[in-house]
Amino acid sequence: MDQAASILSDPSNALYITFHPCLAVSPVKLPPRAVFVVANSLKVADKVLSAKYGYNLRVVETLVAARILARSLGLTVPENEKITIREVVGRYLGEGDGVEIGPDALDNALQLLLQSEKLDVLKPNRAQVEHLGVTMTEMVEMSGLSKATFDEVYLSWVDSKWFSAQP
């Protein structure tokens, strides 16, 4: 997205980029005197060595989080579907296939979800002091899928060397 933003943006607008129901970009007027601060942390990240695993790990984690959220919201998701968080929110709002509800309705829905207890399933358990995330075993359990189905849906399409080393 950063490459698209650098080509499609202009100085007085931010970009709203959506991938659902299709890729679309629209300018969002910035308030007067708005300022963005761009900083370099000087942290070196060797993308050649770690991107494949790190990126795939984040993709798997967000797809599993979407399934867990869908379960919390009482939505039915077919076992073999890799639903996204955006699609979960859309289904929760009754958004039809190929229909875009727009950024304002989406923002309102997210605000309602944040105020409800439906998102608590995605929050870290404060009693687990040793780590804030969940283990692979916990992810499988929370997804509601069998281990074999989970592996087929979420791990079969990525190089799972890294994932198999996780608990």
Q: Convert the pLDDT of each residue in 42-52 to its tens digit.
A: 887 776 666 66
Of the candidate ranges 9-18, 33-42, 52-61, 121-130, the one whose mean pLDDT is the lowest = 121-130
pTM of the model: 0.68
CB of 139 closer than 8 Å to CB of 121: no
Q: C-alpha distances in angstroms, 94 versus 20, 99, 103, 150, 152? A: 14, 10, 15, 26, 28
Q: Is the pLDDT of residue 115 over 90?
A: no
Nearest-angstrom CA–CA distance, 4 and 17:
9
2 catalytic per annotation: yes
Most confident region among 65-69, 114-118, 134-138 by mean pLDDT: 65-69
The answer to whether the CB of 63 falls within 8 A of the CB of 82 is yes
In this model, does residue 87 exceed pLDDT 60?
yes
On the question of pLDDT at 1 being above 70, the answer is no
pLDDT score recorded for residue 167: 47
Residue with the larger pLDDT of the pair 96 and 1 = 96
Mean pLDDT of 81-110: 83
Q: Which of 2, 10, 46, 120 is catalytic?
A: 2
User: Is residue 111 predicted with pLDDT exceeding 80?
Assistant: yes
Percent over 90 (pLDDT), the chain: 22
DSSP state of 71: H
